[in-house]
Amino acid sequence: MPKQNPSNRYLKNFVEKLHKLNTIDVELPNSNVSEIVKNPKKYAFDIVVKEFTKNLPSMVKAFELGQKFAMQNLRIVYKNNKRFYPDDEQVPEKLPDAYAIGRNNQACNNCIFFIGGDYCKKWKAEVRGKYWCKSWKGE
Ligand code: SF4
């Protein structure tokens, strides 16, 4: 058996570990060696495109699940008629009932009433950037 140089051995071990830790199955585009040698960059690009196309639906699904998870975990909860953020800090009572998690790219952090990183000058109360109310106004 030919002796492997240390770099090749390291790379082989690394790839084997990656395979064990992930269920990655990289599909190689059909091509012959002489075509690859003529234009290796194109071959690498084809692999990336193929993998990206194959995995795009999973990435979109993961993004949607992440958004849903965030929405559920940023929801304001009521306790004894008072509103609380998920970390148990009370929501200032001055804020309107509609104050909730931001949506459709509208949130306090891109509202004209939001100043100083945590204050709403419309309601004169501290707010959080990812939340929103019906008075939201963009620039
Ligand atoms: S007006 Fe509403 S959306 Fe705008 S900063 Fe105040 S609470 Fe947030």
Q: How far is CA 133 from the centre of its chain?
A: 24
Q: Give the CATH number for residue 81.
A: 4.10.490
pLDDT at position 117: 92
pLDDT higher than 80, residue 102: yes
Structural domain containing residue 134: 76-139
The mean pLDDT of 40-58, rounded to a whole number, is 84
* Domain end call among 48, 72, 96: 72
Quick one: 99 and 67 in the same domain?
no
CA 134/CA 118 separation, integer angstroms: 18
Q: Does residue 1 lie within any of the structural domains? A: no
CA 97 to ligand 1 center in whole angstroms: 12
Burial 37-49 (b: 16+ CB within 10 A, else e): eeeeeeeeebeee
Domain count, the chain: 2
134 φ, ψ (degrees, to nearest 5): -65, -15
Over residues 53-82, the pLDDT tens digits come to: 888 888 899 888 887 887 778 889 999 999
What burial letters (b/e) apply to 83-120, b meaning 16+ CB within 10 Å? beeeeeeebeeebeeebbbbeeeebbeebebbeeeeeb
Residue 113 lies in a domain: yes
Report how far ligand 1's centroid is from the alpha carbon of 105 (Å).
13
pLDDT at 92 (0 to 100): 97
Ligand 1 atom closest to the CA of 134, numbered from 1? 2
Instruction: Give the separation between CA 109 and CA 128, rounded to whole angstroms.
Output: 8
Q: Which of these, 110, 136, 106, lies nearest to 123 by C-alpha position?
A: 136
* Claim to verify: residue 64 and residue 80 sit in the same structural domain: no
Q: Are residues 96 and 120 in the same domain?
A: yes
Same-domain pairing of 37 and 68: yes
Could you give phi then psi for residue 38, rounded to 5 degrees? Answer: -65, -40
User: Is 106 in the same domain as 127?
Assistant: yes
- DSSP H helices, the chain, are 6-21, 33-38, 40-73
Could you identify the residue written with the tokens 């990812």? 130
Mutational pocket test of ligand 1: of 99, 101, 108, the residue with most ligand atoms within 8 Å of the beta carbon = 108
Q: Is residue 134 part of a domain?
A: yes
Residue 55 located in a structural domain: yes
Q: By percentage, how much of the chain surpasses pLDDT 70?
A: 85
Q: Domain end: 56, 72, 88, which one?
A: 72
Q: Are 139 and 82 found together in one domain?
A: yes
For atom 8 of ligand 1, the residue with the nearest CA is: 108
Asked if residue 64 is part of any domain, the answer here is yes
Separation of CA 6 from chain center: 37
Structural domain ending residue among the three candidates 72, 90, 121: 72
pLDDT at 36 over 80: no
92 and 129 in a single domain? The answer is: yes
Q: Which of 103, 106, 127, when mutated, tests ligand 1's pocket best, judged by the most ligand atoms within 8 Å of its CB?
A: 127
Question: Looking at the predicted structure, is the pLDDT value of residue 134 above 80?
Answer: yes
Q: Which of 103, 112, 120 to mutate to test the pocket of ligand 1 (most atoms within 8 A of CB)?
A: 120
